[in-house]
A and B are shown apart, each in its own frame.
Chain A
Amino acid sequence: MNPELPKSIRSALASQGAAGAHPPADLLTAFAEHTLSQGENERIADHLARCEECREVVFLGSSTDERCVPQHRRAAVQAPLRSRSRWLPRMTWLVSGGAAIAIVAGILVQQYLAHDRSNQKNAQVAQVAAQQPPTASQTGTPSASVIAPEAKKTVPEPKAKPSRSGNLPRGSSDTLAQRLAPATEAGSPDVANIPLTSAASQLPGIVAGGSANSFEAAVPTQNTFAEGQEGSQAHGFTPSRMPAAPRALVRQPSAAKTWRVTPEGHLEHFTPTGWTGVLTDQTAKFRVVSESRSGIWAGGSRGELFHSADGGENWSEIALPAPPDAKNDPIVTIHFADLQHGMVVTENGLRYSTSDGGKNWTRE
């Protein structure tokens, strides 16, 4: 029960001074919607207190507003919003921090697992390599096969095994090897398809490739490089003197999953039924296959270049403007930066480029 207002005050209220000019409907609306500034609100309230007509208008207008929610209800609605908005910055930081920790933990676990896998593979490869020692003539990739034994000879074993916690500096050879290991495994079901080309190391986006004997040379080289670079740093070798082959192992897993070149030089495509041979009617021995937005590109050991723009259904052979003495130069790298611009590199270092999606090629 509200206290009664003394009649003397009531009569004084009723006989207040003139209200002045009526405020525009715009301001009355804003008053009812509480969007006025403090000063304006006070002024309009004062006018309303003195002007019966405007009070009528305001109350009548307000009575028809069904959306008008009393503040206690609005407060109930806004309370969670307010509390959420108050907690939101903190929650954002917490979530961000949690996400960062999760990412770091994930990377560490991945590196830990990768390191384990690479160790296992290295052990297997070392076993195979011991049975079939690689030679330069067998590998067909002199840059890798020649360097690999040298690296093995010249670079001593690291004094201490790298820690499994992955606390090695970024860019160190061991970290690189750890990163490469899962990619190698995920990239192809067959370890023999690990590409290894020195020229390919210069370009990103290499898909797959290798010669029939590259397997024997490639994996030991990778292993040797991984350990050797660390060793080389320890012995004052500059990394630039080390072979760049492992960088070529960075490849597109999606393409590597669907296309490969077998150790025998056959081009294969992965289908639901398994790996199936492609371009089997060709006598060419394939060295490299690349999948990009421009299509599938396959390079042969005698400089043949095949292209399929429909995912491998139809193929066409592209003639490269090779000089007469380099007609049989094996293609070791095919790289397309985008739909139009691509580059082919041969084993002898010849480079061909295209800027029209592979229709025309020019030698650089």
Chain B
Amino acid sequence: MASASASGPLEEKQLSAAVRGFAEEHYESSGAQQFGIDAEALAGLLAEVLNASQVDWHDVSERTFLLSLRLEELVLARACADGNERAWELFLTRYRATLYETAYKIAREESAARALADSLYAELYGVDSKGEQCLSKLRYYHGRGSLQGWLRTIVAQEYINRYRTAKRETSLDAALEDGAQFIAPQPEMPVTDKRVEVAITAELERLGGEERFLLVSYYLDHRTLAEIAKLQGVHESTISRKLERAIAGLRKRIVKRMVSAGMSRREAEEAMTDVDVRDLRVEVSETLQQGTLAPTFYKEKGESQG
């Protein structure tokens, strides 16, 4: 059953010799045999993953891509999606705890976590909210990351979906009872000079995805350095340095662009500084505070002499 359904949707797809060869080469290590998936079906599954991926094949070779897949987990997920009982036993043994633990960590409340995990479990099994058979969610797992990580991601997605739905359904009265404050958003500083706006937009568009993600996460989402560092798998200081470098580079490029657009260097530099009186006030007060906390050199010297 597993092999038939695994190869079914792919019959029309052309399997390259490389994919076939790879499937045969890794057939044993993939554990496909225990779920009744033959080498041909495995090749079909790999071709499906290849077709679904949006990889730039100039960037990475087909074989490298296939090697990067979590083949064993992919096979397990597909066997589960195809209703293989042995695969389900294995899946539950390995991942049931992950599913429920993740749900609990995200929801932080036992009943909500259980409801979240249960609904997801049903979706993984191929049963929708109405109790009708549907395509198992596991079919969308393509082995690009770990199956455990994928489960965490879908739990997070489901939680956010539920949260948003619940928020939309919350009445204004209930929100007021909860003490929600409807504060008008703080108006951003209007950019008066068109050249500044053009320069900023153009340079932001040129910004790399990673830098942009860092800036947004830190400055707009107010994620901590630790959070970003954890996601990126680097040290906080690395993130700090990256941010510093990104901002310095961005400023420099924007100023340069503004200068080339006809602004004087001083004007361009000023446009990059927030000439907000409130900001200035804060800086002055901080400076004054520092001055009072740290004894000045001459004072220290005078005391020691005295």
Q: Which residues of A contact B (CB under 8 A)?
A: 2-14, 16, 24-50, 52-53, 55-65, 68-72, 74
CB <8 Å contact, B272 and A57: no
CB <8 Å contact, B208 and A25: no
A5 to B59, CA, bound (A): 33
Query: Provided the pairs A7-B276, A30-B145, A37-B60 are in contact, do residues A71 and B213 lie with their beta carbons within 8 angstroms?
Result: no
Q: Does B96 contact A (CB under 8 A)?
A: no
A47 to B209, CA, bound (A): 8
Q: Does B273 contact A (CB under 8 A)?
A: yes
CB <8 Å contact, A65 and B55: no
Q: Does B133 contact A (CB under 8 A)?
A: no
Task: Identify which of residues 166-223 in chain B touch chain A, using a CB-to-CB cut-off of 8 Å.
Answer: 188-189, 191, 196-197, 200-201, 204, 208-210, 212-213, 215-221, 223
Most buried by B among A14, A24, A46: A24
Q: Does B50 contact A (CB under 8 A)?
A: no
CB <8 Å contact, B189 and A33: no
Q: Chain B nearest CB: distance from A19 CB in Å? A: 11
Q: Can you list 29 A-B pairs, Cβ within 8 angstroms, ordered by A?
A: A3-B244, A3-B247, A8-B274, A9-B250, A10-B188, A12-B200, A12-B201, A13-B219, A25-B140, A29-B152, A30-B144, A35-B145, A37-B59, A37-B60, A39-B56, A40-B59, A41-B209, A45-B208, A49-B215, A52-B221, A59-B231, A61-B152, A61-B153, A62-B227, A63-B230, A65-B149, A68-B231, A70-B234, A74-B233
Question: Whose C-beta in chain A lies nearest to the C-beta of B159?
Answer: A60
Q: Does B254 contact A (CB under 8 A)?
A: yes
Query: Provided the pairs A5-B247, A29-B145, A49-B209 are in contact, do residues A71 and B59 lie with their beta carbons within 8 angstroms?
Result: no
Q: Does B134 contact A (CB under 8 A)?
A: no
CB <8 Å contact, B55 and A64: no
A24 to B139, CA, bound (A): 12
Contact residue among A4, A7, A28, A59 (Cβ-Cβ distance under 8 Å from B227) = A59
Q: Which residues of A contact B229 (CB under 8 A)?
A: 70-71
Q: Does B290 contact A (CB under 8 A)?
A: no
CB <8 Å contact, A62 and B230: yes
Task: Identify which of residues 218-242 in chain B touch chain A, using a CB-to-CB cut-off of 8 Å.
Answer: 218-221, 223, 225, 227, 229-236, 238, 240
Q: Does B256 contact A (CB under 8 A)?
A: no
Task: State the interface size on chain B (CB cutoff 8 A).
Answer: 73
Q: Which residues of A contact B154 (CB under 8 A)?
A: 25
Q: Which residues of A contact B274 (CB under 8 A)?
A: 4, 6-8
- A interface: dominant SS: helix
Q: Chain B nearest CB: distance from A296 CB in Å? A: 45
A46 to B196, CA, bound (A): 23
CB <8 Å contact, A44 and B150: no
Question: Whose C-beta in chain B lies nearest to the C-beta of A12?
Answer: B200
Question: Whose C-beta in chain B lies nearest to the C-beta of A43?
Answer: B209
Q: Which residues of A contact B145 (CB under 8 A)?
A: 26-27, 29-33, 35
CB <8 Å contact, B146 and A29: yes
Q: Which residues of B contact A25 (CB under 8 A)?
A: 140-141, 150, 153-154, 157
Given A10-B188, A32-B153, 20 more A-B residue pairs with CB atoms under 8 Å apart are A3-B244, A8-B272, A8-B274, A9-B200, A9-B254, A10-B219, A13-B215, A25-B141, A25-B157, A30-B144, A40-B54, A41-B210, A42-B208, A57-B156, A59-B223, A61-B153, A62-B231, A63-B230, A64-B105, A64-B152
A5 to B243, CA, bound (A): 10
CB <8 Å contact, A36 and B200: no
CB <8 Å contact, B189 and A57: no
Query: Provided the pairs A7-B189, A12-B197, A52-B221 are in contact, do residues A39 and B234 lie with their beta carbons within 8 angstroms?
Result: no
Q: Chain B nearest CB: distance from A59 CB in Å? A: 6
CB <8 Å contact, B209 and A12: no
CB <8 Å contact, B197 and A13: no
Q: Which residues of B contact A53 (CB under 8 A)?
A: 160
Question: Whose C-beta in chain B lies nearest to the C-beta of A65?
Answer: B152
CB <8 Å contact, B220 and A14: yes
Question: Whose C-beta in chain B lies nearest to the C-beta of A2?
Answer: B243
Most buried by A among B153, B220, B248: B153
Q: Does B10 contact A (CB under 8 A)?
A: no
Query: Provided the pairs A13-B204, A13-B215, A32-B149 are in contact, do residues A6 and B273 lie with their beta carbons within 8 angstroms?
Result: yes
Q: Which residues of B contact A63 (CB under 8 A)?
A: 105, 227, 230
Query: Provided the pairs A2-B243, A7-B189, A29-B149 are in contact, do residues A39 and B59 lie with their beta carbons within 8 angstroms?
Result: yes
CB <8 Å contact, B140 and A45: no
Question: Whose C-beta in chain B lies nearest to the C-beta of A39?
Answer: B59
CB <8 Å contact, A7 and B210: no
Contact residue among A7, A32, A42, A43 (Cβ-Cβ distance under 8 Å from B188) = A7
Q: Does B20 contact A (CB under 8 A)?
A: no
CB <8 Å contact, A49 and B212: yes
Q: Does B78 contact A (CB under 8 A)?
A: no
Question: Whose C-beta in chain A lies nearest to the C-beta of B65?
Answer: A37
Q: Which residues of B contact A39 (CB under 8 A)?
A: 55-56, 59-60
A97 to B12, CA, bound (A): 57
A225 to B243, CA, bound (A): 86
Q: Chain A nearest CB: distance from B295 CB in Å? A: 22
Q: Which residues of A contact B141 (CB under 8 A)?
A: 25-26
Question: Whose C-beta in chain B lies nearest to the C-beta of A28?
Answer: B153
CB <8 Å contact, A27 and B144: yes
Q: Which residues of A contact B244 (CB under 8 A)?
A: 2-3
Q: Which residues of B contact A45 (CB under 8 A)?
A: 208-210, 212-213
CB <8 Å contact, B272 and A6: yes
A305 to B254, CA, bound (A): 104
A6 to B270, CA, bound (A): 11
Q: Which residues of B contact A24 (CB under 8 A)?
A: 140, 142
A9 to B188, CA, bound (A): 10
Q: Chain B nearest CB: distance from A23 CB in Å? A: 9
Q: Which residues of B contact A3 (CB under 8 A)?
A: 243-244, 247-248
Q: Does B106 contact A (CB under 8 A)?
A: yes
Question: Whose C-beta in chain B lies nearest to the C-beta of A69?
Answer: B233
Q: Chain B nearest CB: distance from A15 CB in Å? A: 9
A260 to B154, CA, bound (A): 77
